[in-house]
Structure 1
Amino acid sequence: MTSDLPSHSSAIEEKLERQHRSHASLNGWTRPVSLPIPGVRSRRLRILLPNAGPFNQLRVSRMRRKRGPLLVALACLAVFFTVLVVTKSFGRSDWGDQWQSGGSPEPPTLVFKREDLQRIWKWEIASGHYPSRRSLPSKLGLTEPIVNPATPPQLVAIKPSRYRSPGAEIVTEGRGIGPKRVYLDIQSLPPNVAYPPRPVPGSVADLDHVMKHCDFGTGKYVRDCLEMLRLGGGLDNGERIRRGHSLDSKYIYVEQNATTPVTEPAIDQEQAPLYRRPLPGQKGKPDPNEGLIKKKGALWEPSIILPQPLVHRPAQSLPEACDPENPRVFHMFWTGPFTDKPYLALMSFLYTQNTGIHLKEWPADSRVCRPQFWLWINPGPAASVPNPNAVRDMFEKLKLSPWASPFLHPRFKNVIHFKLWNTTEQLDNIHEIKDEWRELQDSLFNSGGHIISVKKKVVASTSVSSANGTTTATTTVDDDDLLNRAGSKSSSSYDRLSVILSDMARFVLCHRFGGIYLDADTILLRDWEELWGWKGAFAYRWSRLENYNTAVLRMNKGSALGSFLFRTALKNGLDFHPMTVSRYTADAHLEGLLLRLPDALFDAAWLNTENYQRDRPPQPYFTEFGDFFDTPQQNSAAPHALGFHGFFRGSYSYHFHNFWWKPFDPSRNFPDLGPRFKAGEDLARAALRREKLQALAAAARSVTTTGPPKPIPSVLVDEEEEELVSDKRDLDWSTVMKRTFEGYVRGERPNMYGEWIEW
């Protein structure tokens, strides 16, 4: 047996070989040089310099005198490049971003004055939409503290007068007057330790605490974040391991019900504190917008008009379980034929959220706010206009779809709703832009400044001659054309228009109805009760970049933040790409009002897929998003052995990033939900059988070079035998997730909280 490792008969032989290698390196093109590091006596910097040895025969004697200065120059050059490389590695993301953008900053997007930005902040805080102790941006120029009814009182350090700068003092801290918080130690209690407990109704996630333990920008690992989320949420359910150090995992709290609700006086729009800090040496009245960079060529927006702020009330003080100002609605947008992708998103909703389908009747006095899932269907291509019968046609197609028809069952009628998306109707109901958006309808599909025009549609015309000699002109539309695509069938035929439309749709839905938007390539992994309790707006981080990813987006209905975003987007071409939205909030110093949560909460594999944190990855370890559908062989034991319980435990959801064309369960690519839904299953089985027959026929034609093609059997094998033969030996993660959710609906297993569906 041969080995690639070196072998030596003695230590002397090994030493001689090392000396030989060292001597050979001196005769090579480079040679190592050690230089002292200033301030560090114990270490030296080892760099490689060009070796002058190969050039000895080419030199003349008069060049030997200049070898010393030449080596010094080369050493200085090497040090310069070393410093450059080190600087790049320490500031990797910023340096890389500047390189990718050509070093030129993005143009400003701001169209609101400082006084309007202050009013937006004051309205959101007064409405209880900023339950955070994080400091406010100094660029706001606030001269008075803002009272915050969503944070408890706390001591505020006041600088002595001798340390205060002259002129108006800039305030960056709020003043909490809200109810006290009681942090919960959530655990399963014996003997009920087989499943985690449901979250406490009305509980709230302290996202300041989450940022402390999970922020990638401060060097936190996804693995450690998931442990904190898992322990604090009680998801370890009796499997808690004693740790040698104390991990502060309590991030869920309830607000104590005050005897009298905290109210905040109405904001006087005319007396909002303005930026009055005088500039050194400046004469005359200071510029109230000094330091803000307005969009080039744009005018300042007129003073923003806002309604009276909402009244923040703890969940325990509400007369009903659900707060009408904070509806618990998950939104999702879908275009094209209904497939296994929205099917699995809805299945994960039923498996994880407190929908009450485990009860015969929903109790009238329940203190649990029952969540709903609104699936918005765009009936045709993104650029098309729905016909007058679109709603009826939509439900007819849903009834005939094996993937959609199960959710029309009466058992789900109170929690799952299908709704028709109409772009014109939706934009006409956003009062901030309803009178102006039509001016941009020819460039409505704007993504990051790249506009896809839909003004003209190109169709192919053909002439057909009949037997009587008449000629009929017909037009055909290419379904695979960019303007006519309805859904993504493969990586090469990507429905780009629907993706761009969904970028805008999520902001429209959240601003108009409130709630949380989810991309259709999202699977829910736990109850979101405490995230609903946190009333602020949020999205999550774009992996290593300090930008938003709005695959998860939470916004409040009719909020000041929403008004800002729509007016700003209107002045920037109605561009709602998440990178552009990041510029909107950064230019206006409103990033704190749209919290950028760590992607560990919703997208725990993203950093690993971009080659970050691979030294301590979470479970499972994905080096690319395709691993979810095609689990690498060396890790293929994990899905079946660990199951749903071992899939990014602690995360609220998982985002598998597109892959619309990859089936979750290739060998059983049909809804497997038991006798109640057998009709839909039979339709899907028949379609799958036809696809296999067509594939076999194509394979037979490809291998047959002479003679007629071989006959294809009309029936492959018996159904049960087919399942055994075609099923993959090591199941992938996507397959395990699908079959887990389906087992719950079939009544073969409870959901993740130990509740059995009640039919």
Structure 2
Amino acid sequence: MAASIYFPSRGNGFADKPHNGLPIYNNNSSAVQEKWHRHHHTSSWFVPIILPIPGVKTRRLRLLAPNPSRLHQFSVTRFGRRKGPILLCIGLITAFYLLFAFHKRFGTEDKTWPTPFPGDPSTLVYRREDLQRIWEWEIAAGHYPSSHRIPEAIGLSSPPHNPALPARRSNALPPRFRSPIVTSTIGTGSKRVYLDMKGTPPNVAYPPRSVPGSIADLDIIMDQCDFSTNKYVRDCLEVLRIGGGLDNGKRVRRAKTDEWSYIYVENGERENATDTAPYIKPAFALKTQGELDPTTGLTKKRGAEWELPLRLRPPPPYVSHIHQISACDEENPRIFHMFWTGPFTDKPYLALLSFLFTQNLGLHLEHPDPSVCRPQFWLWINPGPAASVPNPSALKDMHDQLRGNPWASPFLHPRFKDVIQFKLWNTTEQLDGIPELKDEWRALRDSLFNSGGYVEKVPQAASNGKTKTEAEEDEDDNDDEDEVSVAGAVAAPTNAAKTGDNDDKVNRVGSKSPSSYDRLSVILSDMARFVLCHRFGGIYLDADTIFLRDWEELWGWRGAFAYRWSRLETYNTAVLRLNKGSALGTFLFRTALKNGLDFHPMTISKYTKDAHLEPLLLRLPDAMFDSAWLNTEQYQRDRPPQPYFQVFGDFFDTPREASAAPQALGFDGFFKGAYSYHFHNFWWKPFDANRNFPDLGPRFIEGERIARASLESSQLTGKPPGEETIADDKRDLDWSAVLKRTCESFIRGERPNLYGEWLKW
């Protein structure tokens, strides 16, 4: 029985004899075949392919091609039956991609390496010569008062003259030891005199204002405050306080702090060696030694064409403050912009009050000082939903509503007419006012609400006033009717508006709660800030911003800036400085146009990073404008600043264990040193729940009565002004209430402003 199993019969009927006493297996088994294939490579890696030669009948073309069976055999024997085919497929795909990549890099006109993974595609649409021209234009205009290096990828071969930097000793290295790529500028500006900001007797109770025309050295602030170099917000605020003279000698003695002096004035004549002619002439693709590819190291946006050569106006001449004819520079107007949607509330109310309380407006004088350039505050109001069409009487309606609104009416007083202006926002008019957009933006009006690549769809208006889904299939409107379909934004009233459901995203006006967030207005404001700064110049601020000190030295710094997005190396444009009609602005708008008009701060970061223009839009530390942000994201909690907010809501509802600080320290103890505070939305949360009305004294008593009468549930409802008692008030005031009441007491004439100046009516 055993012999019949282990010793199979021969063909003649006799069983095979065992060899060395071991059983003999069938040679046709898979194991034997696999072992045989491993040691006997009879198949070749290549197989010949015979192709006929056109026109030659007697000869054939013999080509060698990879042998698919041999490749499959190798993968199986090398990696196994399962892994082998998978790895073979991956290898073939990689080989085809490399072949395609080399062809695109060396055999096409674009000559750029393709992006292997589409998750983070490039946004670049400008060639290197245009990026060089942008850098040269901004430097010549004095918009780069920094000694930080120019990125090597820009490829400059000669250092630009920088009128915003003082002259310094040049590099003495022989040319043969120097790199062909230049990363520094030649300073041709005035000398800098750094100021020791201290009050002088008898004016020592309040901090001194910065000297008119003074400038903040943001290089010093970056060295002391940059989160990337492990600098703490607490330490940064101390540098800002001491260097800005805000402590005014009230703190304990410190060692020598000269390195913290960051405010300076320009003194002396400068060497004007800047030639503006090269900036209006075509530049070479790459101004380095030898002939190099103008797109080397740059990755163009997939599917987009390179922009036409950049045409820029001559850069405006840089004029220091001591050489200016007037106190204000027309090329650098001091305008604070703010965008607001819907009814006027306590949020823009406190923003305007803090503006009056901190900025150098001359309200303590009967006649403004002609040597001081007074900043202006332009509040842009979009009266309806972000996607609505304003009516022809929108401007008149806006002023009527402001006069009847108790939160807004005080700022219409003649005393403030030269420093506060209300403007009507109209999207069509604003976009048509941008030369880089006016001829092309209408093609993208369907995706106007684009935030980070995500487009909020809204129904489009047809000529009969119905939405596209309701309108009959008529011909599209002509360009003359664009004002009807895109003014304000793009859409006509939707069905929800007609039926009274005004809480959908299209008809929402302002954010009334976390669940009813006005996302369209937020997206529209992302675009509005760049439009306003590029068109008019100035600084844009989000409406959830409160001024904490004078911005004189920030106005003196001529460059563009935003600030850091907390721990991330990206921008937050809640504060944005952009010069009027600048080369950087042209780049941003043309790049945004080719990327769906996306102005989200993260996307702006991508635009500047892909083009190596990040130093031209300086990313300032968030300690300067958003001092609580890192703490709210659980960073630097081992050494937090004062006050310590674990969440942004602590500003409105200060924790009980820390609720003694607001009244004890007051405005003076709130992130002292920072230029502003950003409380991150909370539009629905009142600053002062117990006194949720404007409290500006007898001069504005009518508005106060209207606001008090409109309170639905409050301990003060129904009581005449002045009859409430301390028992009616909250015992421990929150930080938001203290800041509001402090600014209101300045308008009432009960205290001076932050710098000891009393308001004169």
Question: TM-score by structure 1 length?
Answer: 0.78
Q: What is the aligned partner in structure 2 of residue 644 from structure 1?
A: 667
Unpaired stretches in structure 1, ≥5 consecutive residues: 1-102, 280-284, 462-473, 694-713
Name the SS of the counterpart of 1:151 in structure 2.
Answer: strand
Q: Which residue in the other structure is 1:258 paired with?
A: 269
Return closer, same or farther for 1:262/1:360 CA change in 2, 3 Å cut-off: farther
The alpha carbon displacement at 1:477 in A equals: 3.5
* 1:329 positional shift: 0.4
Q: Is the 8 A contact 2:342 2:510 kept in 1?
A: yes
State the AA in 2 paired with 1:308. P
| Structure 1 letter corresponding to 2:756 | G
- Residue of structure 1 equivalent to 2:169: 155
Q: Which amino acid aligns with 2:391?
A: N
Residue 299 in structure 1 maps to residue 317 in structure 2: no
User: Deviation digits for residues 724-743 of structure 1, max 9, x if unmatched?
Assistant: 33311110000000000000
**Separation (CA, whole Å) in 1 of partners of 2:663 and 2:226:** 31
Q: Give the structure 2 partner of residue 376 of structure 1.
A: 380
Partner of 1:586: 609
Alignment partner of 2:523: what SS? helix
Corresponding residue number in structure 2 for 1:732: 734
Say yes or no: does 1:429 pair with 2:443. Answer: no
5 Å-filtered alignment, 1:658-677, equals 658-677=681-700
- 1:161-207, CA deviations, whole angstroms, 9 ceiling, x for partnerless residues? 56446xxx111111111111111101011232100111100000000
Per-residue deviation, 1:478: 1.6
- State the AA in 1 paired with 2:410: P
For 1:172 and 1:278, the matched residues in 2 are separated by 15
Q: Secondary structure in 1 aligned to 2:674?
A: coil
For 2:368, the equivalent position in structure 1 comes to: 362
Written as runs of structure 1 = structure 2, the 5 A alignment for 1:590-629 is 590-629=613-652
Contact map agreement 1:263 1:311 (CA 8 A) in 2: no
Describe the superposition over 1:682-717 as per-residue Cα deviations: whole angstroms up to 9, x where unpaired. Answer: 0000011x3449xxxxxxxxxxxxxxxxxxxx9766
224, 241, 248: which one aligns with 1:230:
241
Q: 1:522 aligns with which of 541, 545, 548?
A: 545
Quick one: distance in 2 between partners of 1:238 and 1:246?
Answer: 13
Q: 1:273 to 1:203 in 2, by over 3 A?
A: farther
CA distance in 1, matches of 2:301, 2:176: 39
Paired letter, 1:172: T
Give how far 1:669 is off. 0.2
SS at match of 1:551: strand
**Alignment partner of 2:170: what SS?**
coil
Q: Secondary structure at the match of 1:254?
A: strand
Work out the CA distance in 2 between the residues paired with 1:315 and 1:247: 24
How far has the Cα of 1:288 moved from its partner?
1.0
CA RMSD of aligned residues (A): 2.2
CA distance in 2, matches of 1:626, 1:262: 53
TM superposition shift of 1:275:
2.4
2 CA distance for matches of 1:159 and 1:141?
19
Structure-2 residue corresponding to 1:758? 760
Structure 2 residue 132 is matched with structure 1 residue 128: no
Which residue does 2:350 correspond to in 1?
Answer: 344
Distance 1:235 1:531 in 2: 15
Q: Residue 329 of structure 2 is aligned with which of 323, 328, 352?
A: 323
Q: Distance in 2 between matches of 1:372 and 1:268?
A: 32
What residue in structure 1 maps to residue 508 of structure 2? 485
1:118 paired with 2:156, answer no
In structure 2, the residue matched to 1:193 is 204
Q: CA deviation at 1:268?
A: 4.7
Is the 1:332–1:519 contact (alpha carbons within 8 Å) kept by the matching residues of 2? yes
Equivalence for 1:172: 183
Q: Could you say if the C-alpha distance between residues 421 and 208 of structure 1 is closer, same or farther in structure 2, counting changes exceeding 3 Å? A: same
Match of 2:746 in 1: 744
Q: CA deviation at 1:138?
A: 0.1
- Please tell me whether residue 412 in structure 1 is matched to residue 382 in structure 2: no
Q: State the secondary structure of the residue aligned to 2:259.
A: coil
Task: Give the match's secondary structure for 2:165.
Answer: coil
3-state SS in 2 of match to 1:255: strand
**Corresponding position: 1:209 with 2:220:** yes
In 2: Cα distance, 1:271 partner to 1:485 partner: 48
SS at match of 2:198: coil
Q: Retained in 2: the 8 A contact 1:543–1:606?
A: yes
Alpha-carbon distance change, 641 to 715 in structure 1, aligned in 2, over 3 angstroms: closer
Q: Distance in 1 between matches of 2:139 and 2:593?
A: 25
CA distance in 2, matches of 1:511, 1:442: 23
Please report how far the alpha carbon of residue 160 of structure 1 lies from its aligned counterpart in structure 2 after TM superposition.
Answer: 4.0
Q: In 2, distance between residues paired with 1:638 and 1:117?
A: 50
User: Post-superposition shift, 1:671?
Assistant: 0.1
Q: Tell me if structure 2 keeps the 8 A contact 1:266–1:309.
A: no
Residues 355 and 371 in structure 1, CA contact (< 8 A), matched pair in contact too: yes
Provide the rounded CA distance (Å) in 2 between the counterparts of 1:259 and 1:124: 18
Contact 1:335–1:381 at 8 Å: present in 2 too? Answer: yes
Q: C-alpha offsets along residues 81-117 of structure 1, whole Å, 9 cap, x if unaligned?
A: xxxxxxxxxxxxxxxxxxxxxx975211000000000
Counterpart amino acid of residue 306 in structure 2: W
Q: Deviations over 1:212-257 (max 9, x none)?
A: 1010001111111111111111101231421246462110110114
CA contact (8 A) 1:267 1:308 kept: no
Check conservation: 1:143, 1:274, Cα contact below 8 A: no
Residue 361 of structure 2 aligns to which amino acid in structure 1? T
Relative to 1, partners in 2 of residues 1:122 and 1:551: Cα closer, same or farther, differing over 3 Å? same
Q: Secondary structure at the match of 1:150?
A: strand
Give distance in 2, aligned partners of 1:248 and 1:259.
25
1:546 to 569, 574, 580: 569
Aligned-partner Cα distance in 2 for 1:493–1:231: 43
What are the ranges of 5 or more consecutive residues in structure 2 without an aligned counterpart?
1-116, 471-496
Structure-1 separation of matches of 2:555 and 2:756: 22
Match of 2:482 in 1: none
- The 1:636–1:351 alpha-carbon spacing in structure 2 relative to 1, beyond 3 Å, is same
Give 1:387 shift.
Answer: 1.1
Cα distance in structure 1, aligned partners of 2:309 and 2:563: 30
Query: What is the one-letter code of the residue matched to 1:134?
Result: H
Deviation at 1:267, TM superposition (A): 2.0
**1:658 Cα shift?**
0.3
Amino acid at match of 1:110: L
Q: Deviations over 1:366-404 (max 9, x none)?
A: 211011000000010001121111110000000000000
Q: 2:747 is matched by which residue type in structure 1?
A: V
Distance change >3 Å, CA 275–CA 247, structure 1 → 2: same
Superimposed CA distance per residue, residues 451-499 of structure 1 (whole angstroms, 9 cap, x where no aligned partner): 01112589999xxxxxxxxxxxx94232111000111111110000000
Q: Equivalent of 1:402, from 402, 406, 410? A: 406
Sort the Cα spacing of 1:246 and 1:392 in 2 relative to 1 into closer, same or farther, 3 A. Answer: closer
Paired residues of 1:108 and 1:296 also in contact (CA < 8 A) = yes
**AA partner of residue 455 (structure 2):** I
CA contact (8 A) 1:351 1:751 kept: yes
Q: Helix, strand or coil for the counterpart of 2:338?
A: strand
- Name the CA distance, whole Å, in 2 between partners of 1:642 and 1:105: 49
- Which position in structure 1 is the counterpart of 2:443? 439
The 8 Å contact of residues 144 and 273 in structure 1, kept in 2 or not, is answered as no
SS in 1 for 2:571: strand
What CA distance in whole angstroms lies between the structure 2 residues aligned with 1:754 and 1:523? 19
The sequence identity of aligned pairs, in percent, is 67
Q: Deviations over 1:621-643 (max 9, x none)?
A: 11111010000111111000000
Greater Cα shift, 240-249 or 398-407: 240-249
